[in-house]
Amino acid sequence: MARWGLCGGHTICASLAPAKGTVIKRELKQAADAAEDVTNSRALELLARAGFAASGVLHFLIGAIAIRLAMGGAGNADFSGAVAELASQPAGPFLLWASFAACAALAIWQASDAIFDYNRLPTKKKAAEKGKAAAQCLVFAGFALTLAAFAMGTGSGNDNRQKASDLTLTVMKAPGGVALLVLVGAGIAITGAVYAIRGIKKSFEKHLVMPSSPQARTAVTVLGVAGYVAKGAVLLLTGLLIVIATLSAHPENSTGLDGGLKALRDQPFGVYLLAAVGAGLICYGVYMVVRAKLAKMSR
């Protein structure tokens, strides 16, 4: 039964609160629908596709740096090093800002997938797909932040190994930091294994609209297999180094992607292994550029 009270000499219904709640819910639903419409726009899709291409260019540069290291050259074989290489080009500022916009758009697209998409799937599959989209959102947001830092002149491709070691040491000193680092390292290593398996099983093809030409299909498959296996190997190595450095209480051994590749170079036959990984990362870079055109983006 509704309760009645007096307000300014007039009798009003105190049960208006539920009605207000309904209005708020309706407004939130309308705002969510408007946000989904924006993220489904053709303009954002095209820019998000360019994000795959920007990621491909960065992976290509990391692969080229890795091969350079295998041949006795210098460089930082990680994303900061790749962005520094991009910045050194004649059109560096334009390339940085364009890549930033593309990666930021792809991060927004993936965030939209995590929020709005996959809702008709079974619960477990829905959670898995939304989790993947959220993880990809974080990855491309990280790329965008790195690109923006270099574009604004605050980024640096130097001393990445030392930064990784310092970060590991800082986290290790925090309460629960050792367990957190082990989990992070294990997560990266497992992700690497997943990438390699995805490449071997060619499961990446389900995310593409494969070309009709048999030769083109074969080329895309070869690039994808080589690229996913190489990226998986790099992530696996990076994750294992984090775990080993944490458990052995030697944070200086946690050196990130750059340190992991340089550690690979120092192993028996490491020069050849590093060159092979570099070639694989170049394949992955080319695959990502191809993915910009062939990716299934429609919802």
| pLDDT at residue 6, rounded to an integer | 46
Per-residue pLDDT, 253: 57
- Residue that the structure tokens 């192993």 belong to: 267
The domain of 145 spans 38-158
What pLDDT does residue 242 have? 79
Residues 79, 179, single domain; the answer is no
Q: Give the pLDDT of residue 4.
A: 46
Instruction: Mark which of 113, 131, 158 sits at the end of a domain.
Output: 158
On whether residue 144 sits in a domain, the answer given is: yes
- Per-residue pLDDT at 1: 42
Question: Is there a domain that residue 296 lies in?
Answer: no
Pair (117, 198) in one structural domain: no
Structural domains of the chain, count: 2
Is residue 222 in a domain?
yes
Q: Say whether both 145 and 77 belong to one domain.
A: yes
Residues of the chain with pLDDT under 50: 1-6, 9, 11, 32
Residues 216 and 232 in one domain: yes
Q: Are residues 140 and 170 in the same domain?
A: no
Domain closes at, from 130, 158, 186: 158
Residues 164 and 139 placed together within one structural domain of the fold: no
